Amino acid sequence: MGESAPGLWVFAYGSLMWRPDFPFAEAHPARLDGWHRAFCIVSRHYRGTDERPGLVLGLDRGGSCHGRVFKVGAADADTVLHYLRRREQISGVYREAHVNVRLLSEPHRQETALTFLAERAHPSYVRGLSLRQQANILAAAAGKTGTNLHYLVSTLHELRSFGIREPELERILVTLGPVRARTQAGTARAMLSRKDFEDWPRKPVLRLADVKRFTFRAHLGA
């Protein structure tokens, strides 16, 4: 394992890869084993609204994930940590974790990095959506930081910039072609509404301990 000066390493796998918005001293393509990238988080803020929710990426169990790891200097570490919590923990849907990531440029070098894992117990976590369902949602949703489609395309573009192909995300993009065409032609309703989300199977009522845990995470960045 590589030796490095004190500071903070951050593993990014979604918009943090191409829009970190924090100071860093180094950036490297990296791989995390044991977790994979998936559109498993419902977004009602950054890439969707209450009326038309979107989807954003989370790290879910199993497989592996290529992304970008940033080295933050010791002088900026506390400020960056606070910023990341404010950005990522709006609803407490992510669980902070320190994971071992392998640098692609130095396969024998590993760093321990902060990242944000999907919390399966949170009501904003979803899984089992088909490619068509995901494409419908991404085609329709937009939020505070832009459209859901821009989020998908920007993520794929960033991955391709360091030679990584993500077949699952690319299949969603291919599926989006006919979805958007039908929407524009007015021959079918390709967009999901709030009611569509409400019709999904509901999560069990959260225990009080879970409510407190998610609220605590959301307050970390306050």
**Residues contacting residue 174 through CB under 8 Å, at least 6 positions apart:** none
**Residue of 3, 88, 96, 158 marked catalytic:** 88
Active site residue 111: no
Catalytic machinery residues: 88
